[in-house]
Amino acid sequence: MLEITVKIINQIDHSAWDQCKNYIKHHCKNDPLYDNYTNIDPKNYSFFNCALVHDRIVSFGAVEISEAKWGPEIARVLTRFWIHPDFRSSGLTKWGAQSIRFSPLILKPQLEFLKISSKIKVAMITREGRYRNSFREIVRLANTASQNNFTILPGKYNVCEPMQSVPGGCRQMIALCPLKDSSIDAVFEDAKSQQKFKLM
């Protein structure tokens, strides 16, 4: 059985992170989300954690907090979520049987981080593309790590800052999870009243 440890990026030897970035740059060019990973900087996120196997980074993800995009009470988890190709399974790629070792491991510390925030009331997972069955699997795995369940909303929403012409990459499926004793509906409606989350 693999020994897997999860660490915060600033606790990891920079050589491990540099090795991971170099691997992605040269070996993951066929990944449809390749551009999301090539210039990633953990310092740009509120929280960034990795899973390691034998001191090698094999998965990572981030928490993104952006009042400009989602208002003051919603944060995105599993942002830039990545799994090393050696640990992916076929079919749902990053979200199949192998990935169950990683997505909940990455997600759980992120939710714990957000729970101590004085402002964030709702965690959000987003997914671009049209594969709703794959998104359901993402959410199913997420719910194994969360005290409260993520709920998938119908349709797609603009998850970028408000704009007149919304590019395809900003039109995403979303799932929401309450972190505190608060109503998802109330928080989401409040964000929409601030011109966030336009339904596409």
d(C-alpha 85, C-alpha 20), whole Å: 12
d(C-alpha 170, C-alpha 34), whole Å: 16
- Please compute the mean of the pLDDT values over residues 143-166 and round it to a whole number: 93
Specify the higher pLDDT residue, 74 or 36.
Answer: 74
Task: Express each pLDDT in 23-61 by its tens digit.
Answer: 999 999 998 888 889 889 999 999 999 988 888 899 999
Q: What's phi and psi for 73, nearest 5 deg?
A: -115, 0
Query: What pLDDT, on the 0 to 100 scale, is given for residue 1?
Result: 60
Confidence bin at 125 (pLDDT 50/70/90):
very high
Six-digit token string for 116: 């101590």
Please report, for residues 8, 108, 123, 135, 158, the alpha-carbon distance to residue 148 in angstroms, rounded to integers and kept in the order given: 23, 12, 10, 18, 24
Domains in the chain with CATH codes: 58-193 (3.40.630)
Confidence bin at 138 (pLDDT 50/70/90):
confident
Q: Quick check: helix, strand or coil at residue 23?
A: helix
Confidence bin at 19 (pLDDT 50/70/90):
very high
Q: Which residue from 82, 8, 78 is spatially nearest to 38, judged by alpha carbons?
A: 82
d(C-alpha 169, C-alpha 161), whole Å: 12
Confidence bin at 89 (pLDDT 50/70/90):
low
Specify the higher pLDDT residue, 160 or 182.
Answer: 160
Q: What's phi and psi for 134, nearest 5 deg?
A: -65, -40
Whether pLDDT at 18 is above 90: yes
Tell me what percent of the residues of the chain surpass a pLDDT of 90. 58
**How buried is residue 55: exposed, middle or buried, by Cβ count under 10 Å (0-12/13-18/19+)?**
exposed
Whether pLDDT at 141 is above 80: yes
pTM of the model: 0.90
Q: Among 11-20, 97-106, 115-124, whose mean pLDDT is lowest? A: 97-106
Query: What pLDDT, on the 0 to 100 scale, is given for residue 2?
Result: 66
**How buried is residue 143: exposed, middle or buried, by Cβ count under 10 Å (0-12/13-18/19+)?**
middle
Contact 40, 24 (CB under 8 A): no
- Please compute the mean of the pLDDT values over residues 86-99 and round it to a whole number: 58
- Euclidean distance between the first and the last CA atom of the chain, given in angstroms as a whole number: 44
**Chain-wide mean pLDDT for the chain?**
88
- Please compute the mean of the pLDDT values over residues 75-99 and round it to a whole number: 74
Query: What pLDDT, on the 0 to 100 scale, is given for residue 93?
Result: 52
Task: Express each pLDDT in 93-111 by its tens digit.
Answer: 555 555 446 888 899 999 9
Six-digit token string for 173: 């499926």
